[in-house]
Amino acid sequence: MNEVELLKIKENALKNHIPIIMDDTLEVISEILKKKKPKKILEIGAAVGYSAMCFSEYLEEGGKIDTIEREEERIAEAKENFVKVGVQDKIHLYEGDAVEILPILDDKYDVVFIDAAKGKYPFFLEQALRMLNDKGVIIADNVLYKGYVMSDYNKHKQRTAVRNLREYIARVNEDANLKTEILEVGDGLAVSYKL
Ligand code: SAM
């Protein structure tokens, strides 16, 4: 993996306000992946591919990442980035809306990383659970959404996102097959281990 290119891609993304994973969140996920050594990871929300490229370092030998992105410009950039960093053989990018793509996937994954439209988290969870291997992990970023999720925040634009993030947290907590931790890193990270 070309670390210099990866750093350039990160800096460029930050400069252009592309929402990539925060450093402290990446650190926590990297620790989980180091222990788990996943063979297959599913990511929902690739943006320009930064997190997927970082995660690819922790795959088991021969492992693969599938990631999904719907914005054309980001798709083109992610594909270029995978080649620049030299990870194009490890990452497959599904192009389009995850709401349409997920139901037609039928693979099994050791880790699912949810990092896309907040209003769709309960749907993403259903799909992740359907494809998760035993002892697998579902990691969802931004679940505390600037603190709105745990406050009595109930305003206009973000209302649907907040309601759906609350539903996501309730579902992972109530699911007897999952053990969930909500971590206050970045914008809030839910880590759910399948028992
Ligand atoms: N995981 C990336 C990283 O850390 O480098 C950042 C992902 S960014 C926070 C979220 C991305 O998800 C955006 O690029 C957005 O276009 C994409 N997205 C949001 N909803 C989506 C959907 N329903 N289907 C596919 N992509 C989606």
Rounded to the nearest whole angstrom, what is the distance from the C-alpha of residue 191 to the centroid of ligand 1? 18
Query: Residue 107: which residues within 8 A CB-CB, separation 6 or more?
Result: 40, 42, 66, 131
Residue keyed to tokens 């988290």:
121
Query: Which residue has the least CA distance to atom 6 on ligand 1?
Result: 20
pLDDT band at 155 (very low <50, low <70, confident <90, very high): low
E strand intervals along 77-162 = 91-95, 109-114, 132-141
Strand arrangement of the beta sheet that strand 109-114 belongs to: 91-95, 64-69, 40-44, 109-114, 132-141, 189-194, 178-183
- Please report the pLDDT score of residue 99 as a whole number: 98
Pairing of strands 178-183, 189-194: antiparallel
Rounded to the nearest whole angstrom, what is the distance from the C-alpha of residue 114 to the centroid of ligand 1? 9
Amino acid code (one letter) for 53: M
Q: Structural domains in the chain?
A: 3-194 (3.40.50.150)
Rounded to the nearest whole angstrom, what is the distance from the C-alpha of residue 37 to the centroid of ligand 1? 24
pLDDT at 154 > cutoff 70:
no
Mean pLDDT (whole number) for 57-80: 98
Rounded to two decimals, the pTM is 0.96
Mutation pick for ligand 1 pocket among 56, 71, 72, 127 (CB with most ligand atoms within 8 Å):
71
For ligand 1, residues with CB inside 6 Å are 19-21, 45-47, 50-51, 68-71, 74, 97-99, 115-117, 120
- Please report the pLDDT score of residue 149 as a whole number: 75
Mean pLDDT (whole number) for 176-184: 97
The answer to whether residues 28 and 185 touch, using CB atoms and an 8 Å cutoff, is yes
pLDDT at 74 > cutoff 70:
yes
Q: Which atom of ligand 1 is least distant from the CA of 74? A: 14
Mean pLDDT (whole number) for 142-146: 87
Residues 16, 1: Cα–Cα separation, whole Å: 23
pLDDT band at 119 (very low <50, low <70, confident <90, very high): very high
